[in-house]
């Protein structure tokens, strides 16, 4: 049986993760692999309820620690119920955000610190780590323009404004500098150029860990 893989996509809101992760899922399927695409927070019925609480703009009284614990609760649920079993079945799991989001958003931008987030991530995932993570890096200004262009309503986190998104980006860049697992990709490039880079990195990873 093929070995499973966990591939995660990260970046500030509007960086273009969804386009790329769906293209990657199609690429794996055309190569005969069984793929599961999930998102965080969400991906389980409990997680989707938590997601609604987290992203609801009406919940503007939510304190940072509540926010952190809710993200971790949703993560614990999807990891045990969906992600770990799928990987054990040999599937490719592609996750739209995983625990690096919590480092960047809650640890860095909200200022809750790396240690607390690391400990909670460890508990929520029972030590499961992505094999490879793509950080689609874009300036907060460019990401904001893209989001406006799509005309979607802002959620609670997006409504925090440009300075918050700038801090999140900074958090991601610090993470990527210190961890080879995280491949930083210039998300201002064309969709095809970005995808070519992603596939190249995935092929290298597959060769390195022998999952074919
Ligand atoms: P998205 O599905 O549109 O990316 O929305 C999820 C939002 O939640 C996004 O603004 C990033 C934020 N988020 C955190 O703040 N911490 C986390 O741990 C995760 C997974 C997401």
Dump pLDDT digits (tens) for 185-201. Answer: 999 999 999 999 999 99
Report the distance separating Cα 79 and Cα 44, nearest Å: 10
Report the distance separating Cα 13 and Cα 21, nearest Å: 15
The pLDDT value given to residue 148 = 87
Candidate from 12, 105, 159, 168 with most ligand 1 atoms within 8 A of CB, to mutate? 105
pLDDT digit string, tens, across residues 99-114: 999 999 999 999 999 9
Residue bearing the CA closest to ligand 1, atom 19: 101
Please say whether the beta carbons of 124 and 75 come within 8 A.
yes
Separation of CA 86 and ligand 1 centre (Å): 22
Beta strands in the chain (DSSP E): 5-10, 35-39, 92-96, 132-137, 182-186
Backbone conformation region of residue 14, classed left if phi is above 0, alpha if psi is from -120 to 50, else beta: left
Residue bearing the CA closest to ligand 1, atom 13: 101
The pLDDT value given to residue 153 = 86
Strand ordering across the sheet containing 92-96: 35-39, 92-96, 5-10, 132-137, 182-186
Candidate from 12, 15, 20, 41 with most ligand 1 atoms within 8 A of CB, to mutate? 41
The pLDDT value given to residue 210 = 66
- Token readout for 197 is 């880079």
- Token readout for 164 is 């918050």
CA angle 46, 134, 153 (to 5 degrees): 55
Q: Is 84 exposed, middle or buried (0-12, 13-18, 19+ CB in 10 A)?
A: middle
Interacting residues of 80 by C-beta distance below 8 A, sequence separation 6+? 126
Separation of CA 193 and ligand 1 centre (Å): 25
- Report phi then psi at 184, rounded to 5: -85, 130
Please say whether the beta carbons of 167 and 120 come within 8 A.
no
Residues of the chain where predicted confidence (pLDDT) is lower than 50:
212
Instruction: Ligand 1: list residues with CB < 6 Å.
Output: 13, 39-41, 71, 97, 101-102, 105-106, 157-158
Separation of CA 101 and ligand 1 centre (Å): 7
Separation of CA 82 and ligand 1 centre (Å): 18
């Amino acid at each position: 049986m093929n070995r499973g893989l966990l591939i995660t996509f990260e970046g500030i809101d509007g960086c273009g993760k969804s386009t790329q992760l769906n293209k990657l899922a199609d690429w794996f399927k055309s190569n005969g692999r069984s793929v599961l695409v999930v998102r965080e927070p969400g991906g389980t019925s409990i997680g989707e309820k938590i997601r609604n609480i987290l992203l609801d703009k009406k919940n503007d009284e939510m304190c940072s620690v509540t926010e952190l614990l809710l993200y971790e609760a949703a993560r614990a649920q999807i990891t045990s119920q969906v992600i770990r079993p799928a990987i054990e079945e040999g599937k490719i799991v592609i996750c739209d955000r995983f625990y690096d989001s919590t480092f960047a958003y809650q640890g860095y931008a909200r200022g809750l610190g790396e240690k607390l987030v690391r400990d909670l991530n460890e508990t929520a995932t029972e030590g499961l780590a992505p094999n490879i993570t793509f950080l689609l890096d874009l300036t907060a200004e460019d990401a904001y323009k893209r989001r406006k262009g799509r005309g979607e309503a802002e959620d609670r986190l997006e409504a925090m404004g440009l300075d918050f998104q700038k801090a999140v980006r900074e958090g991601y860049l610090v993470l990527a500098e210190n961890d080879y697992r995280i491949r930083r990709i210039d998300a201002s490039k064309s969709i095809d150029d970005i995808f070519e880079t992603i596939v190249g990195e995935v092929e290298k990873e597959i060769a390195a860990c022998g999952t074919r």
